[in-house]
Chains A and B, each alone.
Chain A
Amino acid sequence: MWMPLLGLLFGAILGSAISFEIPIAYAKYMSIAVLASLDSVFGGIKSVLEDRFDGFILLTGFFSNTLLAAMLAYLGDKLGVDLYMAAVFAFGVRLFQNLATIRHHLISRTLRNLGPDKR
């Protein structure tokens, strides 16, 4: 249960510890990658709560989303259009939707556990 949180903490510490820094020119791609990973985390949690979880789908979704978003951002750079904003927007919207679903599931589950009579 605590493994994902520990993993998050571990990743953060690792990122802070290593001296490697991504050049500022790739900040756009990084922001998309961050959003894609967060989206995957919450999407995964949602699917767990919905009992539809599949590890393979999660991982492929994560990589393909990140890759597609990066390509979109690159294309936007070449065309002079801020296309990466579309990816940021799409991931942001999905993030909030997933969060809302997770909250919904958690609340209904808690209520069910507290008083099964109510249903």
Chain B
Amino acid sequence: MRKWILPITFVCIISGLLLALQFKIQASQTPTPTEQRNEILVGIINNLENEISTYQERIAEIKAEIETIEDVTASYQDDIKYLQQKVQKAKLQAGLTNVKGRGIRITLDDNKSGLLLAPNDDPNRYIIHYENILNIITELKLGRAEAISVNGQRIVSTSEIRCVGNVILVNTTRLAPPFEIKAIGDPDRLEEILLAGEYDLLKSTGFPVSYEKFTEETPLEIPAYTGTFQFNYTTLN
């Protein structure tokens, strides 16, 4: 009966030893689910913090970049403004902008009633020729007109005024009477020069011509030159 006690006890001792050892390992090495979760959360938080610091560095870099660019643009700002003003002025002088201001408007038309009264006379004596317009414009330029247009065609440095058959070409656009010449400048001076020149001649020979002065309050409007300037043969010297 008692012969089984010893072996069983021996096995029991080993069992107890192993159980205790295994329990100790489990208790010390295996983290509880909560601990595991916490570890995972800590890992996530650490990762996010790293990410945030990376992004913050990037933000700081970009801010520094922006500042540099702003400094550069600030230093160029004045230059850009100056150049823009110069460009604007050059465009104004070249006749590439719509302009308005004080000035004078002259209307010329053929002397149809004069022709009717003298049907046997030379009809050429009763129509407006390109020379008349050219002369008036030259006179207006002499009166320091700053912008001139004929029937809406802006007179620029390359503008031609020439008759082709029975029409007049200005800026390669065909014009027909009545002609309306606008000029921006000192109205009184322009009037003075008109009355001493071609205009007066036309008036005295019976052409239906008239003029109107425009003040600051009701400014004269002159459109921009819409063509192009071609310089194929000219270079800077």
Contact = CB atoms under 8 A, between A and B. Distances in A.
Interface of A: 1, 3-16, 20-22, 24, 27, 30-31, 33-34, 37-38, 40-41, 44-45, 48, 53, 55, 58-59, 62
A21 B22 CA distance: 9
Pairs of residues from A and B, 8 with the lowest C-beta to C-beta distance, nearest first = A11-B16, A15-B20, A55-B7, A7-B9, A7-B12, A37-B15, A12-B16, A11-B13
A15 B12 contact: no
Nearest to A40: B11
Contacts of A41: 8, 11-12, 15
B231 interface: no
Given A22-B25, A41-B15, A55-B7, 14 more contacts: A7-B9, A7-B10, A12-B20, A13-B20, A14-B16, A15-B17, A15-B24, A20-B21, A24-B29, A33-B18, A34-B19, A40-B15, A44-B7, A62-B11
B6 interface: yes
A83 to B, nearest CB: 19
B14 interface: yes
Given A21-B24, A27-B25, A37 B8 contact: no
Contacts of A22: 21-22, 25
B3 interface: yes
A11 B22 CA distance: 12
A51 B19 CA distance: 28
B233 interface: no
Interface in B4-59: 4-26, 28-29
Main secondary structure of the interface of A (DSSP, over half): helix
Contacts of A16: 20, 24
A12 B19 contact: yes
Contact of B8 (A11, A20, A38, A45): A45
Contact of B20 (A4, A14, A24, A38): A14
B18 A37 contact: yes
A31 B23 CA distance: 10
B10 to A, nearest CB: 7
A8 B5 contact: no
A34 B18 contact: yes
Most buried by A among B10, B12, B14: B12
Contact of B5 (A3, A20, A34): A3
Contacts of A48: 4, 8
